[in-house]
Amino acid sequence: MKNKCLIIITLSIVLFYACHSKVEKNEHNETQISTIDSEGKVNAHFTFLDIWKKLPLKQLPLDETTNFDNVANDRFLTEEEKVVLKLDKIFTDYSQYKDAYSIRSAYKLEFSKRFYSIVINAFKGEHELEIILINYNDSEDIIDYKVIAYDEIAESISQKTATIEKNFVTIIDKTDLEETVIEISKFHVNASGEFNIVKDVFTSTIRPNEAILLNKTYKDTIQFNSYNDDGDYRLLFGKKDFQEVILIHNFDWEQEKKYNFSENETLQITWKMDSIWIAGDGETLDFKETIIDAKRIKK
């Protein structure tokens, strides 16, 4: 009888540990499954906001000059964190070359309460480093991103730095070959979190064969057609060498006789290419011919 009881107790202990081990194995396997479910949704143990809250906030304006000599060596992202941040939308070859990537979360910025801004450092192999500014919407999707700094130590011929302001990012590209070449690009960060390049050379139907400079004053002759004051900007329509021209105006033409022109009158206009904000489109910065003054040319 004692032997039977001993056998039963022994079998119970064996079964208990076997079941317990099986449960532990199953639980371990569950943590290793993909963080993307069958519907393509992130199945992580933390959220985008968990990552966001842990990042240090840097105040604007600031100079972004991260390179191999000064880059920090902490806060490297796990595979799960990379999925939550949807970095496969930026590094399209990541699944193929993920062993070559090391990515760390650097800091966060606050351009607006309407979207989130995160800066990451991406090591591409041992010789390339990209600093990337990423804007996310409330749905945690990437709105837009921009490589704002870059360093490479294979040949040490290319480097990128940036100055970040409240609504603008200015990027300086430096290339050292036989001579040093520096290119400067400026981007406006609109209210929707998109990056729009700020140009300084333009084209215009008023002078179609000439490069037009921002805020430089020009004088030309046009034929007046009409005013249209019904939109977000008040417009003057005319023709120059049979081509339609449209300029933004601020004339009180109904009250001031000198600006109350008749159709086909010949005008001498003073104008410039000026900045405007496109309403209802994330307050996007744009540029448009703007008339400063106009007067009739008497025949």
What pLDDT score does 280 carry? Answer: 65
Structural domain boundaries, residue 279? 201-296
pLDDT in tens, 190-201: 999 999 999 888
Is pTM, for the whole model, over 0.85?
Answer: no
What pLDDT score does 21 carry? Answer: 39
What pLDDT score does 33 carry? Answer: 28
pLDDT in tens, 70-83: 999 888 999 999 99
Please report the DSSP string for 44-98 in residue order: -SS-HHHHHHHSPBPPSSEEE---TTT-----BPPHHHHHHTTGGGT-TTHHHHG
Q: How confident is the model at residue 171 (pLDDT cuts 50, 70, 90)?
A: very high
**Domain termination residue (choose one: 148, 170, 198):** 198
Q: Are residues 52 and 184 in the same domain?
A: yes
Q: Are residues 64 and 152 in the same domain?
A: yes
Q: Are residues 102 and 147 in the same domain?
A: yes
Q: Are residues 240 and 115 in the same domain?
A: no
What pLDDT score does 94 carry? Answer: 81
- Pairing relation of β-strands 168-176 and 180-189? antiparallel
Tokens 């206009």 belong to residue: 269
What pLDDT score does 2 carry? Answer: 44
Percent residues over pLDDT 70 in the chain: 84
pLDDT at 47 over 70: yes
What pLDDT score does 43 carry? Answer: 57
Q: Are residues 224 and 152 in the same domain?
A: no
Q: Is the peptide bond before 56 cis (omega within 30 degrees of 0)?
A: no
- Looking at per-residue confidence, does 279 or 156 come out higher? 156
Q: Are residues 157 and 224 in the same domain?
A: no
In a domain, 194, yes or no: yes
